Amino acid sequence: MILPVKPVKNTFFNLANKHKNIFYIIIFLLFANTGFAQENDKNFIVDLAPQLSFSTGPLKKTNSFGYGGSLGFQFVTTEKLRLVARFAAIGYRGKSYTDVSGYDDEYPFLDLLQVTAGVKYFFTYGLFGAVQAGPVFSLGEANRGTGVTYAPVLGFEFGEGPFYDISLRYDSNTIKGSTLNALTISVTYQF
């Protein structure tokens, strides 16, 4: 007799996968800790940022807000221009709905890993704009696959010693013909 097997949700940020989340956090902190051990050189900057995303467009129908973080690298080329690389992981919570038979259900959690590169340009002291693009990987149950992401960014950098920046970005992700857009706010710590 074959018993039915309930599918296991395999998502990156799903709160049910606590052990998996702890493992990823430890790995992230180990990489972040090696950055603290390095001497801060003006030509190379490492940054960490928590992110909060609000879904827009078609994604807004199935998923609400997203949360995650990013690890970035900035290479100073001139006083006003930097080359940037960024690795980000963002999970979007599924919205609740009632199906046709009257049962309450929830759309699946959507997990995105973004690997981007681009440029960051300072217009005046502190005020900057950036453009980044690269591959995006969807690891959640919905739209699993690989695609392309791009993001225009507007922000402000401030501080003495360690620098911080607050930025607003519009993430546009295209995976298997689906467009997954979000407005993302992040506060970045640079070291």
Residue 119 has pLDDT above 90, yes or no: yes
Q: Is residue 11 part of a domain?
A: no
Residue 141 has pLDDT above 70, yes or no: no
Q: Is residue 64 part of a domain?
A: yes
Q: Is residue 88 part of a domain?
A: yes
Lowest mean pLDDT among 15-29, 125-139, 152-166, 171-185: 15-29
Residue 106 has pLDDT above 50, yes or no: yes
Residues whose CB is less than 8 angstroms from the CB of residue 64 and which lie 6 or more positions away in sequence, other chains included: 55, 92, 93, 94, 95
pLDDT for 43-100, tens place per residue? Answer: 999 999 999 999 998 888 888 899 999 999 999 999 899 999 999 999 998 899 888 8
- Chain centroid to Cα 141, Å, comes to 17
Q: Is residue 8 part of a domain?
A: no
Q: Is residue 6 part of a domain?
A: no
Q: Is residue 2 part of a domain?
A: no
The pTM (predicted TM-score) of the whole model is: 0.75
Residues of the domain holding 113: 18-190
* % of the chain beyond a pLDDT of 70: 76
Average pLDDT, the chain: 82
Q: Is residue 57 part of a domain?
A: yes
Look at the chain and report how many structural domains it folds into.
Answer: 1
Residue 116 has pLDDT above 90, yes or no: yes
C-alpha triplet 3, 5, 6: angle, nearest 5°: 140
Q: Is residue 171 part of a domain?
A: yes
Q: Assign residue 24 the CATH number of its domain.
A: 2.40.160.20
